[in-house]
Amino acid sequence: QVQLVESGGGVVQPGRSLRLSCAASGFTFSTYAMHWVRQAPGKGLEWVAIISYDGNKKYYADSVRGRFTISRDNSKNTLYLQMNSLRAEDTAVYFCARVLYYDYWSGYYYGMDVWGQGTTVTVSS
Amino acid sequence: QSALTQPASVSGSPGQSITISCTGTSSDVGGYNYVSWYQQHPGKAPKLMIYEVSNRPSGVSNRFSGSKSGNTASLTISGLQAEDEADYYCSSYTSSSEEVFGTGTKVTVL
């Protein structure tokens, strides 16, 4: 079945780094754009980043641009989020999600039709 | 990019209809027909309920419908059921090629 499984979360000190992974199965990963979305404790959803199916196009939320890097390895069916210079406000559950529709040339996209269960990141000293 | 504005809470009795609004700007909701809606139960991942303003994914009940007028999108749940009690989020593509979520609405079935 179509599935996304995140891993790599944990407790980390402010200023340190962490890399999240999202393993995909049950579909042709290399043909789908992917998102990272996070949710702070008791708060709403916040979009983090998107990457095109080939990894050549990436966009980030202002809150993480310059600190986080989204990437993918299509040979391993895996999406990544490298998080550097972590702050307390990065504490959240991080979800990966598959993009329902992505037009590569225009850059338009919509819909997140498959979600992982999330992995928790806690930034605390 | 500021979050889209949703009411914090909406409630209704079983069988009634409720509508959740999602207000943005001409740079997001008003500029594109790329609005989606998600349902999230406590401790669970979000679930796509509506995409491209008014389209339902396979398996989503036809009690859920979406629409848009100007900078405001709406999600209507008709024939409200106990299982519909959850948080709902809208989202939209933006002119910066980013995605923005709404502030979220807690739906309570009385």
The 10s digit of each residue's pLDDT in A95-117 is 999 999 998 888 888 999 999 99
A interface mutation test: which of B48, B52, B100 has the most A CBs within 10 A?
B48
Chain segment B82-95, per-residue pLDDT in tens: 999 999 999 999 99
Of A87, A64, A69, residue with least CA distance to A12: A87
Chain segment A26-35, per-residue pLDDT in tens: 999 999 999 9
- The two tokens of residue A107 are 């850059």
Instruction: Please determine, for residue B1, whether its predicted confidence score (pLDDT) is greater than 80.
Output: no
The pLDDT score that the predictor gives to residue A105 is: 87
**Residue B58 neighbours by CB under 8 Å, 6+ apart:** none
The pLDDT score that the predictor gives to residue B28 is: 96
From the list A44, A62, A110, the residue facing B36 with the nearest CB is A110
Residue A66 Cα to chain centre, angstroms: 15
